Amino acid sequence: MELRQLGSTGIQVSPLGLGTVKIGRDQQVKYPAGFKIPDDNAVRDLLALAWELGINLVDTAPAYGNSEERLGNLLPHKNDWVIVTKVGEIFENGQSSFDFSAKHTRMSVERTLKHLGRDYVDVVLVHSDGNDMQIIEQEAVLETLAELKQAGLLRAYGMSTKTSEGGLWVVENTDVVMATCNPVDLHDEAVIRRANELNKGVLVKKGLQSGHADKSAGGGGIEAAFEYVFKHAGISSMITGTINPDHLRDNVSMVEKVLAAL
């Protein structure tokens, strides 16, 4: 897969990124079918396959259980990957909680670097609790991420938003937005258009509706979902979270077919 620019960050990413919630957390997740967290050998093989298929972006978060730690131990060519992580959400004892303070933000990024065994992380996003504008206007997290970027601990920052208002603010004021894009949920369409106008990075979440785009789950089909996402100008990469090697191969094949037809 040909790499794409992540807005004006100078970072190049594969059009398909690998989400890693399923390698670290199996509680309080919204997939159509249950799954078992894979062992180290299976994760190592999956990551090696992703690399062989041309994927260079991996998406993780402290809220994804021990995903960050496992990536730090199991990623091949660790320093060559583009790693996207998040701050703000904590998942402990089967429940999420949120902390957007400056102190917690700094601690979270420092912990991520320790888990990953790297001197910097490529992209850090705020893991919104749904109250985007309250976080933006009343919390210190974005200001703190800007300071950490200046200090060289991260290359780009932004937010995984839940509202169009928050998404538009993030596009205007930060480097990267993680936006929802699928035929069922259209609330971020204006966010994606504005990001393209301003040459800001766009990472797509829920492009496959957390698995519900599959025809077997009542959706319109996986390839149709990819077609819908990539017809939008300015999309940098779409995150999919499969732990099935065959599904990963199929996803890459479909994305390549869709992009070739554009």
For the annotated catalytic residues, the residue numbers are 64
Contacts of 24 (CB under 8 A, 6+ apart): 37, 60, 64, 65, 66, 67, 68, 69, 70
Six-digit token string for 27: 């509680």
Residue entry with tokens 């091949």: 76
DSSP conformational letter for 137: H
- Spatial distance between the Cα atoms of 191 and 170, rounded to a whole number of angstroms: 9
Six-digit token string for 177: 């937005």
> Are the C-beta atoms of residues 207 and 239 closer than 8 Å to each other?
yes
Give how far Cα 240 sits from Cα of 10, 140, 169, 250, Å. Answer: 23, 30, 25, 12
- Spatial distance between the Cα atoms of 176 and 11, rounded to a whole number of angstroms: 11
> Are the C-beta atoms of residues 167 and 179 closer than 8 Å to each other?
yes
- Spatial distance between the Cα atoms of 120 and 194, rounded to a whole number of angstroms: 28
